[in-house]
Amino acid sequence: MREITTFVKNKEKLRITQFSVDNADDAIYWVKKDGTVTYGNKTASKSLGYTPEELTSLETWDINPAITPDTWPSVRGRIADGTLVHEVSLLMRSDNTVFPIAQTSSYLYTWGEEFICIFARDISETVEMREREKETLSQIEKNLLSLAILNDHIRNPLTIIAATADLLEEKSREIILSQVDQIDEIVRKLDQGWLESAKIREFLVKHHEFEPENETDGESK
């Protein structure tokens, strides 16, 4: 009786496990030694645009453009040493479009057969966000350079104008210096904009590990 109870409990655990795998948010694939896809969960089928039956009629190089029949043995061998392999790769849909994934692969030997178990997460949104952030940083770099150049081009002649005004009569001097003060205030605001852009740039570089495309002249300000 105890053996029957244990059997029923184990069977229930297997049913729960299978349900969890079938309905996981990440795509899960089982690939045999010869490269045949022997299982794909619902997310795997949906993300690739295949029915479960179609998916299990494919080889791994049909869905991963980085793998070929010739390279599969070395790919499998790298995973079969028993360590988890974490990497970024690409998967190809049924319409031949590709998308980036972060995947973890592991090796299983059971009942005389070898399997590679692959967990794959679509990282398209993450990659697109990183590209937008890189574009933002690139634009900030350009803005910093433009602001630095504009600042110098305004402030240098402004200094000369102020010095020349001292040679004029008082009334004319006051009019010119008044205009100089207004322009100087505009330049000060440009300086403030440069500092704010520089802070944003510094934050992106520090916290998002971006590499600046080039060093701007404005950094020596």
CA–CA separation, 29 and 118 (whole Å): 5
Q: Which of 64, 95, 122 is the last residue of a domain?
A: 122
- Select from 27, 3, 23 the least CA-distant residue to 15: 23
* 135 shares its domain with 158: yes
At 48, which CATH number? 3.30.450.20
Task: Yes or no: say if 28 and 118 are a contact pair by the CB < 8 Å rule.
Answer: yes
Which tokens belong to 62?
A: 């049909």
Considering the entire predicted model, what is its pTM?
Answer: 0.64
Q: Looking at the structure, do residues 154 and 186 belong to the same domain, yes or no?
A: yes
Residue-level pLDDT, tens digit, the chain, 221 residues: 667 778 778 888 999 999 999 999 999 999 999 999 999 999 999 999 999 999 999 999 999 999 999 999 999 999 998 788 999 999 999 999 999 999 999 999 998 999 999 999 999 998 888 888 778 777 777 776 766 666 666 666 667 677 776 666 666 767 777 777 777 776 676 666 666 666 666 766 665 555 555 544 444 44
Q: What is the count of structural domains for the chain?
A: 2
C-alpha pair distances (Å), 86 with each of 68, 119, 151, 190 = 19, 10, 49, 47
Among the candidates 122, 140, 158, a domain finishes at 122
Q: State whether 118 and 132 are in the same domain.
A: no
Q: How far apart are alpha carbons 174 and 169 in whole angstroms?
A: 9
DSSP 118: E
Residues 116 and 149 in one domain: no
| 114 and 170, same domain (yes or no) | no
Choosing from 66, 98, 122, the residue where a domain stops is 122
Which tokens belong to 28? 């899960």
Q: What is the pLDDT of residue 18?
A: 93
pLDDT score at 141 = 73
User: Is 144 found in the same domain as 117?
Assistant: no
pLDDT for residue 215? 47
Residues 28 and 62 grouped into a single domain: yes
If asked whether residues 132 and 148 sit together in one domain, one would say yes
Tokens of 117: 């178990």
Both 11 and 115 in one domain: the answer is yes
Task: State the residue range of the domain holding 22.
Answer: 2-122
Q: 95 and 57 share a domain? A: yes
